[in-house]
Structure 1
Amino acid sequence: MPALLVTCTCPDKPAALTLARDLVELRLAACVQVLPGLHSIYRWEGRVEDAEEVLLLIKTWDDRMQALTEAIGERHPYELPEIIALQAAGGLAPYLQWVQDETRPENTEISE
């Protein structure tokens, strides 16, 4: 199972910080980077929209993706939140191991 980088946009920094903290506390993400200053142009309900947003870069593990998606869906202020997962093709082995370790439910050993 691979490490994933999941992108998700939020309408503002308070919403992004709350969601990021929740995902890490729930052990669904090892780390979430919060990047303000994103400007999005997109089509929604037949109109072209223009909005300032905050981008989350969420580091997780493949087997946590379903739970992560559900948690974002339950907490996100958007009707249709962006949730896009990209598989890590590689990376520093100790960092990837840390991502896997930190996304294990508490008191659960990692199966090799």
Structure 2
Amino acid sequence: MATEIVIAQTTIDDEQKAQTLALGAVEARLAACAHIDAPFTAIYRWKGSVETAKEWRISFKTTSERLPELAAWVAEHHSYDVPEWITLPVAGGSDAYLTWVAEETATD
């Protein structure tokens, strides 16, 4: 498999917003799929205070080629001033799954 597959993650404070981000990215073929994790507690420092919030993590499966467009799309549609955006390279996996991700994010 020559195409590099990546997992890109963000978090958001509302389940419906998480579903909207996930669905929009998949419909636009920026991600082959997106998983939304069950809500968890986030503790973080923001503007000089320690905050606590309930958040949902969205993990997008995409290619390194589509990643810049996905990042821009999420930034445009995300409600946070500074949304979490991290990417993780996929070091391996089944050829069938990795091929599926590449095919479902293809632009042709």
TM-score of the pair, normalised by structure 2: 0.94
Partner of 2:95: 93
Whether 2:40 is the aligned partner of 1:24: answer no
> Which of 39-48 and 94-103 deviates more?
39-48
| Post-superposition CA distance 1:27-83 (Å, at most 9, x none) | 000000111221111111111111000110110000111100100011001111111
From 44, 62, 65, the equivalent of 1:63 is 65
Unaligned residue ranges in structure 2 (runs of 5+): none
* Percent of paired sites with the same residue: 40
* 1:40 corresponds to: 42
Two-structure CA RMSD over aligned residues (Å): 0.8
Which residue pairs with 1:50 in the alignment?
Answer: 52
CA–CA separation in structure 1 for the residues paired with 2:31 and 2:48: 34
State the one-letter code of the partner of 1:76: H
Which letter does structure 2 place at the counterpart of 1:43? R
| Counterpart Cα distance in 1 of 2:103 and 2:43 | 37
Q: Which TM-score applies when normalising by structure 1?
A: 0.91
Distance 1:10 1:36 in 2: 12
Task: Name the SS for the 1:63 alignment partner.
Answer: coil
Aligned length: 106
